[in-house]
Structure 1
């Protein structure tokens, strides 16, 4: 049985998931990495297993029983799972009117329902041990939705809401819930999304068309975020180490904002919300019997 913290990370074959997998291994921790099709990245599987980790197949579209069986298998490898990272996700792009129902359903299955099932599967073991960390990777869009990303934002907002409630529910058992909220990072995330081309009403200079052009630029390397630095922040937050982790633990923060762009849009959202609250205080208080 491993004496080092044991991580379980979904979406380990690319982007922030791969960066976090590598960073945790570099710190001497044990990692069970997962992806939908490990056969596509044999070099990454070999890299992880050479350092004492394991790589499992996990398809977010699998039914509840298969995901539960996968989690039981993962927990049996090293005897426990200390830090579970729900990172695997993708982005559906397009106007809220244009995105087909089938894409909406699949988006919610991958980005919300699969992390929920994984979390439910690991909670019994964490409760028994009275310890554990669940780190759910959200997005700045989950806090501050933009045109053309409404469906993706809804899936992340659902994760945010469930995580907020879950944190209070499991704290008495010694389990901590964290929400990582990254901005734009230099990964292949934008290119891996599903795009519903905007209908004529939403194309060109419409906010949807403009936003889609910006998202496409991210796939060409316009994003400024460094995935390795993001991985370090997530590692410190989950382990309570380093300057960032010490701050998060001391203040008992639920959310971990990653990237100056994420901070800016969140700050603008809070400013607007404050304006709304201040303007409507008397009206809100006028409705009691």
Structure 2
């Protein structure tokens, strides 16, 4: 392959910015998107100084707008759907605006981005789509109902898409990071609506405080996390041997622990309910 072309959404910080700089260091072409270049001129300058390109694109834009912007790039070998955010609060508390923004950013935007990139990938019979999910999609905690739901929806779409495009030489990868020491928790967003008093002194209030206290103490090293992603995308290094062989990459000891616990609970429910499930056929 000639110089690979990456399109990475959400490059203003965290995994998006680090992965952009890592791919540029390898000599690849990278186009990154963020919502507003004027508010992150430092990031824009850093990426451009490293040889990258930055485009303004909000993941809540229309399907037509996202399609137009992504298709203007031309060939895209690797689409990395990284942009996303979370509002932490109880489900009962979220406003209609917050629900719509959460789903639009974390589900609709990535779907539109995939649609835009797929046409060219299908024509070339090659390409890779990486959707950055979260361990929350498989093990939702209190306070993250809509965030977890949005990531679970993205994962379901990814699993279906992987089957649809496998025959075209296109692969899909879901990444489930645990807690990494990025600014994700530092940008913790709470609902614009007040939390009902019943939740404040209970589990929901406690979890929000724990998230705030955990900022800067996460066990995951973001540089190592993005290195594993870079490796599996390019087929190099430790994770390179997994390229094309797995649909999912779980990152972090905490994510592994939570994923195993969730799988055990699923197997329990599946097993004890099997007799009931089989009782529903016509006699």
Separation in 2, partners of 1:145, 1:41: 31
Separation in 1 of the partners of 2:243 and 2:197? Answer: 46
| 8 Å Cα contact 1:91/1:192 also seen in 2 | no
Match of 1:194 in 2: 189
Q: Which residue of 2 aligns with 1:208?
A: 204
Does structure 2 retain, via aligned residues, the 8 Å contact 1:10–1:88? Answer: yes
Gaps of 5+ in 2: none
Q: Mind listing any 5+ residue stretches in structure 1 that lack a counterpart?
A: none
Pairing 1:59-98 to 2, within 5 Å after superposition: 59-75=58-74, 80-98=75-93
Following superposition, the deviation at residue 116 of structure 1 comes to: 0.3
1:154-233 → structure 2 map (5 Å cutoff): 154-196=149-191, 197-204=194-201, 206-219=202-215, 221-233=216-228
CA contact (8 A) 2:234 2:243 kept: no
Partner Cα distance (2:72, 2:38) in 1: 19
CA contact 1:186–1:218 (8 Å) conserved in 2: no
TM-score (norm: length of structure 2): 0.95
Moved more, 146-155 or 46-55: 46-55
Q: Classify the secondary structure of the residue corresponding to 1:74.
A: coil
Among 273, 278, 281, the alignment partner of 1:285 is 278
Q: Verify the 8 A CA contact 1:198 1:208 in the aligned structure 2.
A: no
Distance 1:132 1:113 in 2: 21
Shift of 1:46: 2.6
Which of 257, 275, 282 does residue 268 from structure 2 map onto? 275
- More displaced stretch, 47-56 vs 27-36: 47-56
Cross-structure match for 2:47: 48
TM-score in terms of structure 1 length: 0.93
Offset at 1:14?
A: 0.2
User: How far does residue 222 in structure 1 lie from its aligned partner after superposition?
Assistant: 2.1
Alignment root-mean-square deviation, CA: 1.4
